[in-house]
């Protein structure tokens, strides 16, 4: 409601109260009682009646026009049924007094039954009378049907706290029944999931920022909950809130709008481009050699090349590529300070290579065995002496040094 409309309604209410007071003053309703200031007393009574009527109007403000029209339609239906019923009763020739009292009682009963019937079935009214629909939507309001998967997921409770859900949440009775069956399952895992879903529902119902209504509409001709949800979305022109990938595709094929909480989560992930830098903490080793793995706040995996040696440290990395898959997004990166350390590591490797190839700084060959023999000496100078290892056979059939026995 706009500010101008609210001011206009306030002015109309004040004019109505003043009109009631003026009517009481001019009607002279208390003139026969010979009271002093009878006209002003009548004006005050008229003003009080006007205030009472305005109070009733304010009380019904919390109800939508749809509910008020449902009461009026139910009252009309009840009185019409009473009229038809009394036309049949008149043929019984009851006494006039009894007939009048019976008519008043049945009018009250049929009016009550008519109002209650229309209020309970206002959302299904279009199914009984074509082209007449007591729409369950308020002005500018959208309906959102809850699926079992999104209730068990639990993130809907956090989304409701952010005021992003502006529509009315509709919980079908068959979805609540399925959730209760899961909570009563003999499987401990399913039982815990079902109880978690019930706790999430209670949290949502206690949230003042969102309105949740249990709906009785059912479609016995369908066997699965998914089929019932899609049909209910078509009848009520509502959206389906789900995490189920298959239900998402089936609903879209049948023209039902779907709110997928996974799509929302992917859309809210921060956008990163190759070449950007970020600080992350490497938590574990990767599958490939020398890789490290980190995670962003939204759960996105970051694979860091040469990150294994920085395990448990918070490092600055540079994004090299981003891979988008059905399961989510993966980011590949390298250490930003890798180029700073690489020349120094290369120099160390070159120095070690030169040491191994050319000996140490004093010109000694580091490859010479510690016992003073090399392969050249063993070949030329010590052929006649045989092997010092007694476990090895003498290749020339000669004896050893001292005390050697021939073969």
Structural domain includes residue 51: yes
CA gyration radius, the chain:
44
Is the pLDDT reported for residue 136 higher than 80?
Answer: no
- CATH code of the domain in which 169 resides: 3.40.50.1010
Q: Phi/psi of residue 50, each to 5°?
A: -65, -40
Which residue is listed with tokens 């006649």? 384
pLDDT of 63 above 70: no
DSSP string, 213-270: EEE----TT--SHHHHHHHHHHHHT-EEEE--HHHHHHHHHTT--EEEHHHHHHHTSP
On whether residue 394 sits in a domain, the answer given is no
Q: What is the pLDDT of residues 98-127, one digit of tens each?
A: 888 888 888 889 888 888 888 776 655 544
Asked whether residue 235 falls in the same domain as residue 286, the answer is no
Distant-in-sequence, close-in-space partners of 267: CB < 8 Å, separation ≥ 6: none
212-216: average pLDDT:
86
Same domain as 298, residue 214: no
As a whole number, mean pLDDT of residues 350-374 equals: 44
Q: Are residues 262 and 286 in the same domain?
A: no
Tens digits of per-residue pLDDT, 33-42? 666 777 778 8
What is the residue range of 147's domain?
143-267
Q: Among 208, 237, 267, where does a domain finish?
A: 267
Tell me how many domains the chain contains.
3
In a domain, 395, yes or no: no
**3-state SS, residue 15:** helix
* Cβ atoms 318, 276 nearer than 8 A: yes
Q: Are residues 287 and 244 in the same domain?
A: no
Whether 365 is covered by a domain: the verdict is no
Confidence at residue 308, expressed as pLDDT on a 0 to 100 scale? 86
User: Tokens 């206690």 correspond to what residue?
Assistant: 206
Averaged pLDDT, 206-232:
86
Q: Are 12 and 114 in a shared domain? A: yes
- Which of 204 and 25 is assigned the larger pLDDT? 204
Asked whether the whole model's pTM tops 0.85, one would answer no
Per-residue pLDDT band at 29 (split at 50, 70, 90): low
Structure-block tokens of residue 317: 């990395």
Does position 362 have pLDDT exceeding 80, yes or no? Answer: no
Q: What pLDDT, on a 0 to 100 scale, did the predictor assign at position 124?
A: 56
List beta partners, residue 332.
Answer: 303, 321
Q: Is residue 383 part of a domain?
A: no
**What would the two tokens of residue 130 be?**
């074509």
Domain boundary, last residue among 267, 288, 307:
267
Percent of the chain clearing pLDDT 70 (strictly above): 72
190 and 252 fall within a common domain: yes
pLDDT(159) > 60: yes
pLDDT for the residue numbered 134: 47
Same domain, 64 and 160: no
pLDDT value for 1: 52
SS3 317: strand
Question: What pLDDT is stored for residue 235 in this prediction?
Answer: 84
Per the structure block, which two tokens stand in for 289? 């050699």
64 and 158 together in one domain? no
Q: Are residues 112 and 197 in the same domain?
A: no
- Each residue of 181-196: pLDDT tens digit? 999 989 888 899 999 9
In a domain, 376, yes or no: no
Q: Give me the phi and psi of 141, to 5 degrees please.
A: -105, 140
Residue 358 lies in a domain: no
Predicted pLDDT at 303: 92
In a domain, 114, yes or no: yes
Instruction: Tokens for 353, please give them.
Output: 């290579």
| Tokens standing for residue 5 | 């409309």
> Average pLDDT for residues 244-261, to the nearest whole number?
89
Q: Is 222 left (phi over 0), alpha (psi -120 to 50) or beta?
A: beta
Instruction: Burial-class residue 107 by CB neighbours within 10 Å (0-12, 13-18, 19+).
Output: middle
Q: Check which CATH number belongs to the domain holding 323 and give it.
A: 2.40.50
Do 201 and 301 share a structural domain? no
């Amino acid at each position: 409601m706009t500010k101008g409309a609210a001011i206009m309604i306030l002015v109309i209410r004040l004019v109505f109260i003043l009109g009631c007071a003026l009517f009481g003053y001019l009607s002279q309703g208390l003139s026969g009682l010979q009271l002093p200031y009878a006209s002003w007393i009548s004006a005050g009574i008229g003003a009080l009646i006007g205030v009472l009527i305005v109070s009733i109007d304010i009380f019904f403000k919390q109800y939508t026009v749809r509910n008020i029209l449902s009461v009026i339609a139910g009252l009309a239906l009840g009185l019409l049924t009473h009229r038809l019923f009394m036309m049949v009763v008149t043929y019984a020739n009851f006494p006039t007094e009894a007939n009048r009292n019976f008519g008043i009682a049945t009018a009250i009963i049929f009016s009550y039954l008519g109002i209650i019937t229309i209020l309970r079935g206002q959302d299904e009214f279009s199914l009984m009378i074509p082209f007449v629909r007591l729409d369950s939507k308020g002005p500018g309001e959208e309906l959102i049907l809850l699926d079992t998967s999104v209730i068990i997921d639990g993130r809907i409770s956090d989304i409701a706290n952010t005021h992003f859900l502006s529509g009315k949440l509709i919980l079908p009775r068959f979805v609540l029944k399925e959730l209760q069956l899961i909570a009563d399952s003999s499987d401990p895992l399913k039982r815990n999931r079902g109880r978690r879903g019930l706790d999430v529902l209670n949290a949502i119902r206690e949230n003042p920022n969102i309105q949740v209504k249990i709906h009785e509409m059912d479609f016995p001709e369908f066997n699965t909950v998914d089929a019932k949800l899609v049909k209910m979305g078509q009848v009520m022109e509502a959206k389906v809130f789900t995490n189920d990938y298959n239900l998402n595709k089936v609903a879209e094929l049948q023209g039902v709008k779907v709110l997928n909480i996974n799509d929302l989560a992917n859309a809210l992930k921060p956008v990163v481009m190759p070449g950007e830098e970020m600080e992350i903490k490497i938590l574990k080793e990767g599958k490939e050699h020398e890789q490290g793995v980190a995670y962003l706040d939204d759960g996105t995996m970051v694979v860091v090349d040469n990150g294994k040696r920085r395990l448990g440290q918070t490092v600055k990395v540079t994004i090299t590529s981003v891979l988008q898959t059905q399961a989510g997004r993966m980011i590949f990166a390298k250490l930003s300070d890798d180029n700073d350390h690489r020349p120094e590591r290369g120099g160390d490797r070159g120095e070690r290579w030169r040491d191994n190839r050319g000996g140490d700084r004093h010109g000694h060959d580091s490859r010479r065995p510690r016992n003073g023999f090399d392969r050249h000496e063993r070949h030329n100078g010590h052929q006649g002496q045989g092997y010092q290892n007694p476990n090895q056979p003498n290749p020339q059939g000669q004896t050893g040094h001292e005390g050697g026995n021939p073969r």
